A and B are shown apart, each in its own frame.
Chain A
Amino acid sequence: MTEPTIYELSAPGRIGVRFPHPDVPLADLPKNLIREELPLPELSELDVIRHFMHLSHLNYSIDGGFYPLGSCTMKYNPKINEETARLPGFAFTHPLQPEETVQGNLALMYELQEYLKEISGFGAVTLQPAAGAQGEFTGVMIIRAYHKSRGDVKRTKMLVPDSAHGTNPATSGMTGFEVVPIPSDARGNVDIEALKAACDDSVAGLMLTNPNTLGLFEEQVVEVNRIVHQAGGLVYGDGANLNALLGIARPGDLGLDIMHINLHKTFSTPHGGGGPGSGPVAVTSELQEFLPGPVVILLEEGSEEIPPLFGFHQPEQSIGRVKAFNGHFGMVVRAYTYISMHGADGLRKISEYAVLNANYLLARLRNTYKVTFDRTCMHEFVVEGVWNDAPDVHALDISKRLMDYNFHPPTNYFPLIVREALMIEPTETESKQTLDRFADVMLKIAEEAHAQPELLQGAPHITPVGRLDEVKAAKELVLCCWLPDEVRS
């Protein structure tokens, strides 16, 4: 069954919401500027509710099932987060209100900055970046501004390990750096000799993902950071994998200079079908004046009788704004709620069980699926989705077949350094029963791949649509629908 589009459901004259009649005299409208056609649909409230209800049924979600998408940390999103973010005192504050009228917001933002500093081991935090990729952009711009402020203009290279996130090279490109890839060694760590060879006075910094995209802790991390610092560079940490490190190790203690943090991965704010994210950036105290402004500061300590006073501060050498207003405040409230419910011990437990779950699945799968870099993993691991004795089956086929068993597939074809990669991240919120069901299905699919490969190649069989024609989509580029009788020049 295909759900009609909102335009196909439209019926001329139907109204979904009625507004009050004007309670002021009408002003003249400037005729030459007034629009004649407004090609929007016309529906009743029930039409709209049913349409989106039907669409929602076509989605897989965390609330509906296991979502082991590597690098995305698809953990349960607690319902209380949705309540706190919608409290009227938060949801109906205007971003440009005078500071004295929003002390609750500022206190919450300040506290979250403090929590993130403590968790990550850094000296200062901005909550402004809208998502991980924008946090990364912010981090690299800070590296650029830092060297520039010292008159050190010859640093044009950014080192990016081949086990780093895919956004890292794009970010370097956007910020004018030349990307120098650094290979991995046989254990999946950054190749120290290659790093040393690449480090000279033209290096601005290193972009390090730790644990890396293989799900492995960078065993030489302290040494890696020392080598880059010795060459005069800074180390940027991709915090997308922070869910493995809460209370386990603080990236700041390990010698990193800058890191972004994904509130929508580690701190349980919902992924929303592709956003909004939120990507705060933490830096060492030495770099705090480069942060995008404004950041929230404590202006006056409180006392028994007087509450503390919070306000905004514009960092002196700021790289500038990366976003309008005060960041994704609604996400900040959710993350604050989540951290408040965990405390230090609760946070450590999150990472411990995320790592336990990943290692358990790895143990159950490793005899059937080849693990290129096989050692104790952190919160995720990567297996090969291909067998020499079943050459016509690919990782993508395994992923599609998983849908027939009501599981969301793992991340496919990333990282690029593993052949036919399947990147699996269970998160701490999944029970042993769920992991066992998933492992059993993965083993069954491996059997099917050898005995009945066509079953995988034709999968999925039970989803609302089958495999879609992506070439047709890209060539014909139908990106919009219009009112059926709409005639456009």
Chain B
Amino acid sequence: MNIPTNLKYTKSDEWVKVDGNIVTIGVSDYAQSQLSDIVYFEFKVDPGDAVHKDQTVATLESVKAAADVNAPLSGNVVDINESLTEQFEAVNTDPYGAAWVLKIEISKPGELDGLMDAAGYEAYCQERSH
């Protein structure tokens, strides 16, 4: 299981890359492996939309399951990875690269404290595998 140490993580399995007040988010390797082959990806927000923490920003589906991607932090959506709606396989093959989901300009930097680091997330994943 791949858990890059330069990223932060949420309990609903999003990864977060912090770059000043812009964060990029995506779906963790653990989550994609649990879902298995993704067959559908849909955005629930557009660039320019204000989002609050835990709001659903996208949904994805495998053959047997559906999952939401939630905003880990509040702010404004500045960019979305439009290519995912066609090339959703990237969520399985390159979750931390080509499958980035969207970028948010955060409005409540304090919320960053609620995210897990790589070690914390690894422990959280292991706990659920048993």
Complex: A in contact with B (CB within 8 Å)? yes
Q: Give Cα A470 to B39, complex, Å.
A: 10
Q: B63 an interface residue at 8 Å Cβ cutoff? A: yes
Within A352-377, the residues touching B (CB, 8 Å) are none
Q: B40 an interface residue at 8 Å Cβ cutoff? A: yes
Interface 0/1 of A466-479, CB less than 8 Å to B: 00001100110000
Interface 0/1 of B14-44, CB less than 8 Å to A: 0000000000000000000000110110000
Contacts of A474 in B (CB 8 A): 39-40, 63
Within A459-489, the residues touching B (CB, 8 Å) are 470-471, 474-475
Contacts of B63 in A (CB 8 A): 470-471, 474
Q: Give Cα A475 to B63, complex, Å.
A: 9
Query: Which residue on chain A has the smallest CB distance to residue B39?
Result: A474
Within A59-82, the residues touching B (CB, 8 Å) are none
Contacts of B37 in A (CB 8 A): 471, 475
Question: Is the contact region of chain B dominated by helix, strand, or loop, or is it mixed?
Answer: loop
Contacts of B36 in A (CB 8 A): 471
- Minimum Cβ distance to chain A for residue B66 (Å): 12
Within A323-367, the residues touching B (CB, 8 Å) are none
Q: Give Cα A474 to B61, complex, Å.
A: 10
Q: Give Cα A474 to B37, complex, Å.
A: 10
Interface size of A in residues (CB-CB distance below 8 Å): 4
Contacts of A471 in B (CB 8 A): 36-37, 39, 63
Contacts of B39 in A (CB 8 A): 471, 474-475
- Minimum Cβ distance to chain A for residue B89 (Å): 8
Contacts of A475 in B (CB 8 A): 37, 39
Query: Which residue on chain B has the smallest CB distance to residue A474?
Result: B39
Within A421-478, the residues touching B (CB, 8 Å) are 470-471, 474-475
Q: Give Cα A114 to B86, complex, Å.
A: 54
Q: Give Cα A475 to B41, complex, Å.
A: 11
- Minimum Cβ distance to chain A for residue B35 (Å): 12
Q: Give Cα A475 to B39, complex, Å.
A: 5
Q: Give Cα A475 to B40, complex, Å.
A: 8
Q: Give Cα A138 to B58, complex, Å.
A: 30
- Minimum Cβ distance to chain B for residue A396 (Å): 10
- Minimum Cβ distance to chain B for residue A131 (Å): 23
Q: Give Cα A470 to B36, complex, Å.
A: 12
- Minimum Cβ distance to chain A for residue B10 (Å): 21
Q: Give Cα A475 to B88, complex, Å.
A: 10
Contacts of A470 in B (CB 8 A): 63
Q: Give Cα A471 to B39, complex, Å.
A: 7
Q: Give Cα A470 to B63, complex, Å.
A: 7
Q: Give Cα A474 to B40, complex, Å.
A: 8
Query: Which residue on chain A has the smallest CB distance to residue B64?
Result: A470
Q: Give Cα A485 to B70, complex, Å.
A: 47
- Minimum Cβ distance to chain A for residue B34 (Å): 15
Q: Give Cα A93 to B63, complex, Å.
A: 44
- Minimum Cβ distance to chain B for residue A388 (Å): 13
- Minimum Cβ distance to chain A for residue B60 (Å): 12
- Minimum Cβ distance to chain A for residue B47 (Å): 27
- Minimum Cβ distance to chain B for residue A331 (Å): 32
Query: Which residue on chain B has the smallest CB distance to residue A477?
Result: B39
Contacts of B40 in A (CB 8 A): 474
Interface 0/1 of B45-87, CB less than 8 Å to A: 0000000000000000001000000000000000000000000
Query: Which residue on chain B has the smallest CB distance to residue A469?
Result: B63
Query: Which residue on chain B has the smallest CB distance to residue A413?
Result: B64
- Minimum Cβ distance to chain A for residue B99 (Å): 16
Q: Give Cα A475 to B38, complex, Å.
A: 8
Q: Give Cα A474 to B38, complex, Å.
A: 9
Q: Give Cα A475 to B86, complex, Å.
A: 10
- Minimum Cβ distance to chain A for residue B111 (Å): 23
Q: Give Cα A470 to B61, complex, Å.
A: 13
- Minimum Cβ distance to chain B for residue A416 (Å): 12
Interface 0/1 of A36-65, CB less than 8 Å to B: 000000000000000000000000000000
- Minimum Cβ distance to chain A for residue B64 (Å): 8
- Minimum Cβ distance to chain A for residue B63 (Å): 5
Q: Give Cα A249 to B70, complex, Å.
A: 45
- Minimum Cβ distance to chain A for residue B101 (Å): 20
- Minimum Cβ distance to chain B for residue A173 (Å): 13
Residues on A facing B (Cβ under 8 Å):
470-471, 474-475
Supply 8 further A-B pairs (C-beta < 8 A) apart from A474-B63, A475-B39.
Answer: A470-B63, A471-B36, A471-B37, A471-B39, A471-B63, A474-B39, A474-B40, A475-B37
Q: What 6 A-B pairs are tightest by C-beta distance, nearest first?
A: A474-B39, A471-B37, A470-B63, A475-B39, A471-B63, A474-B63
Sample of 10 A–B contacts (CB below 8 Å): A470-B63, A471-B36, A471-B37, A471-B39, A471-B63, A474-B39, A474-B40, A474-B63, A475-B37, A475-B39
